[in-house]
Amino acid sequence: MIMTVSIIVILSFILTFFFTLGGLGSAMVLVPIIFYLGFPLKEAKPVGLFISGISLIAATILNIKNKRIDFRMGIPIIISTPLFAFLGALSTKFIPDKIVLIFFTIFLIISALFLAFSKSNNKVEDSYREKTDIITLIVIGAFVGFVSGLLGIGGGIIFSIIFIMFGFHPKKVIALTPLIVLFSSFTGFATYAIMGYINLDLIIFGGIASFLGGYLGTKVTHLKLNTTIIKRIIALFVAILVVKMIIQIH
């Protein structure tokens, strides 16, 4: 078991570092990997949520300090996200692991396609959408929160896909995502903790490794790396994981 935990700690550092280069959270691949390494899915998901939350604390503080966050958009989402993250995590008591894995596989397929085929948007600045109605924002927050709690992921990539499809500026989405994910992650994590699905070794050591990987990845991103290529490499990795999950489900 010590060897398995050590492998997860190493993977947490490497994957969080690499995914941070692409502006993504590593929980979407760490959760199924931890599960396939022999831990119960209900123990793997809070690890993913904790890692998602702790890796974005610094980014959230920095975005607030530099006034990058549009709180008119953020507050309605924050209102609904924690409640539905709680409900998503709570629902795992009633939804079989196989069904959750099927949902996870579908989510990873959509994510891989988005990462593989999304391109840099060259629209002029004033052609981006600036705002939308509060009800829509609350519904988006509810959806992202529920999926986050159910699957044990931060939900950042779901939020990004939805808002970029809505036509919002990628810079605005990137600034807002850490704040939203922070709320959904820690709410979901707290719910799993209350239900008793916590493995302290995975949480503590995996969390430290992911924090360090995320910090280092954030530093390296300032070197003007080609994020499109990085995202496509990540998409390939996710696709391989999808194949593994489909085989496992069958």
- pLDDT tens for 136-188 read 889 999 999 999 999 998 888 888 888 878 877 777 777 788 888 888 899 99
200-214 pLDDT, tens per residue?
Answer: 999 999 889 988 887
- Residue 127: per-residue pLDDT: 59
Is 221 a residue whose pLDDT tops 80? no
- Report the C-alpha dihedral over residues 111, 117, 123, 126, rounded to 10 degrees: -10
- Residue 10: per-residue pLDDT: 92
Is 125 a residue whose pLDDT tops 60? no
Is 121 a residue whose pLDDT tops 60? no
- Report the C-alpha dihedral over residues 59, 65, 67, 69, rounded to 10 degrees: 30
Neighbours of 114 (CB within 10 A): 18
> 196 — alpha (psi -120 to 50), left (phi > 0) or beta?
left
Higher pLDDT, 44 or 67: 44
Q: What are phi and psi of 141, to 5 degrees?
A: -60, -40
- How many CA atoms lie less than 13 Å away from 64 in the CB half-sphere? 11
Supply the pTM of this predicted model.
0.82
Is 99 a residue whose pLDDT tops 80? yes
Q: What are phi and psi of 22, to 5 degrees?
A: -95, 5
Identify the band that residue 53 occupies on the pLDDT scale cut at 50, 70 and 90: confident
pLDDT, mean over the chain = 84
- Residue 194: per-residue pLDDT: 93
Positive/negative CA dihedral, 55, 234, 5, 220: negative
Is 122 a residue whose pLDDT tops 60? no
